[in-house]
Amino acid sequence: MKAAFEGITSKDSVQSAPLRSFPAAPGAASAPVAVARPVGTKSKEAAGDVRLDVSNVYKIFADDPKPALDMLNAGATKDEVFKKLGVTVGVKDASFQVRSGEIFVIMGLSGSGKSTMIRLLNRLIEPSAGKIVFDGRDLVQMSKKELIGVRRKDMSMVFQSFALMPHLTALDNAAFGLEIAGVPKQKRHEAALEALEQVGLGQYAGRYPREMSGGMQQRVGLARALANNPTIMLMDEAFSALDPLIRTEMQDELLRLQREHKRTIIFISHDLDEAMRIGDRIAIMEGGSIVQVGTPYEILRNPADDYVRSFFRNVDVSRVLRAGDVAHFQEATAVVRTPGVLQPALEKLAGGNQEYGYVHDQDQRYQGTVSRSSLERALAAEDQPRFVHAFLPDVDPISAETPLHEVMRTVASTECPVPVVDGENKLVGSISPSSLLKTLDREG
């Protein structure tokens, strides 16, 4: 059992969880439950350190991949290689980076190479060429012993099939990776119970898989992956076997956990709605190649080719994108609040030919919206002028997580571009009617 577990050679195998702790995000305890991907702050988080760097990776399903690699490097297509050599190109020259703390979705049609790609990342399948650098270490060059160590300590994998042991309780299933890693029983049970609590199954720790629904079983699988706080999680079509309602619940659960802990997750999906809903960034695959990588907004606005465009042709942009995706931050309209000092704010707006400004404190937290006219009136008042006297009364900020279809009326009826804030009330930017229309007009 131990050898099979360490090698992970089948879809139904179970991946051990790592031993290193992963700190929760600041303020996680007070964060609300997320029912949509957390877009408001993702731009800053996505700019974090590169956790996984995939460079020019190939997978040729052949005993000797060199002839196929030579053909591909000479410009041959996947089909031409198969026609001449009779070998299949699973992945062709794939390059991308996964940043710390993001959900990176790899999607494509059946046969596009997405499931092969995720198995290359932890060498369940051996790459034919290329580099897979994880936290500065090239996984491709590692010995089997080193690789097992990385799988135990840094990576976890959640499969489409729940891969639970039928004779073990939920608690022991969640603790299984820790058991293989040699963690004492009491310690692994404490960690497993905490993971079950995270996914809402603490009270079901004593149940067996046959006594749980499909959604509950998948939560146990997720808890097993979470039990030792992995550095990176690989999720291969993890929710595709679930009924639609349960699948949506599991997406919500993943987003809630992500909001609290900001793990690095690579998620394989063939479902566009799922990819758009949970992905900070999406990689589109076709014929073994990475066709485009970007945020949902970037791909919607600028599809790389007709293949990508066809994927997104029938997407209702207003129900996929959030206010934080399209909010525009303009330095000329950002005013730092200084108590009792309004004149510099007025001069900044006038100098930048801006009518409206968005006041925030030194920590970027939104305070209110002003206009040149409201600042002039406050300065002309007999009393000591204060920013509160200049704030426009009917301008309320909207959350970066609000779907676009829910902000249309507000944007249309507000006299100025509407301010957008993140979960910590920090100013993300603003949305004007013109920018909203431009976003919705995908042909423009």
Residues 6+ apart with CB under 8 A from 413: none
pLDDT for 296 equals 86
| Amino acid occupying residue 1 | M
How far is CA 100 from its chain centroid?
10
Per-residue pLDDT of the chain (444 residues; tens, 9 = 90+): 333 333 333 333 333 333 223 233 323 333 222 233 433 333 333 445 899 999 999 999 999 999 999 999 999 999 999 999 999 999 999 999 999 989 999 998 888 999 999 999 989 999 999 999 998 999 999 999 899 888 878 888 887 666 788 899 999 988 888 887 778 888 889 888 988 988 888 888 998 988 988 888 888 888 888 887 788 989 888 777 777 787 788 788 788 878 877 889 999 998 888 888 889 999 999 999 999 999 988 888 889 999 898 888 877 788 778 898 889 898 888 888 876 678 888 999 998 899 999 999 888 999 999 999 999 998 887 677 788 889 999 899 999 989 888 999 999 999 999 999 998 999 999 999 998 888 887 654
Q: Rounded to an integer, what distance in angstroms lies between the CA atom of residue 107 and that of residue 269?
A: 5
Q: Rounded to an integer, what distance in angstroms lies between the CA atom of residue 312 and that of residue 316?
A: 9
- Closest by CA position to 43, among listed 320, 296, 243, 317: 296
Q: What share of the chain is helix, strand, coil (3-state, %, to 5)?
A: 40, 20, 40
**What phi, psi does 392 have (nearest 5°)?**
-70, 130
Q: Rounded to an integer, what distance in angstroms lies between the CA atom of residue 13 and that of residue 10?
A: 5
Residues 6+ apart with CB under 8 A from 3: none
Q: Say if residues 213 and 184 touch (Cβ distance below 8 Å).
A: no
Q: Say if residues 314 and 393 touch (Cβ distance below 8 Å).
A: no
Compute how many other C-beta atoms are within 10 angstroms of the C-beta atom of residue 265: 25
Strand 418-421 with 398-399, pairing: parallel
Q: Rounded to an integer, what distance in angstroms lies between the CA atom of residue 138 and that of residue 53?
A: 9
pLDDT for 443 equals 54
Residues 6+ apart with CB under 8 A from 203: none
pLDDT for 27 equals 30
| Amino acid occupying residue 62 | A
Angle in degrees, CA 195, 198, 201, rounded to 5: 85
Q: Which two tokens stand for residue 175?
A: 């603790």
Per DSSP, helices labelled H in 86-169 are 114-121, 144-153
Residue 207's alpha-carbon distances to 199, 274, 327, in angstroms, are 15, 29, 47
- Closest by CA position to 6, among listed 107, 122, 139: 122
Q: Which two tokens stand for residue 338?
A: 């200084």
pLDDT for 153 equals 80
Q: Rounded to an integer, what distance in angstroms lies between the CA atom of residue 296 and that of residue 275?
A: 9
Q: Rounded to an integer, what distance in angstroms lies between the CA atom of residue 161 and that of residue 237?
A: 9
Quick one: CA dihedral 366, 370, 372, 375, positive or negative? Answer: negative
Interhelix angle for 214-226 vs 185-198, to 10°?
Answer: 130
Range 430-434 contact pairs with CB under 8 angstroms and sequence separation of 24 or more: 430/327, 430/328, 430/329, 430/330, 430/333, 430/358, 431/323, 431/326, 431/327, 431/328, 431/398, 431/407, 432/328
- Closest by CA position to 57, among listed 93, 89, 101, 111: 93
**What phi, psi does 137 have (nearest 5°)?**
-115, 130
Q: Is 409 exposed, middle or buried (0-12, 13-18, 19+ CB in 10 A)?
A: exposed
- Report the greatest alpha carbon distance in the chain: 87
Per DSSP, helices labelled H in 227-295 are 244-261, 272-278
Angle in degrees, CA 37, 244, 225, rounded to 5: 60
Q: Say if residues 428 and 63 touch (Cβ distance below 8 Å).
A: no
What region does 218 belong to: left with phi over 0, alpha with psi -120 to 50, or beta? alpha
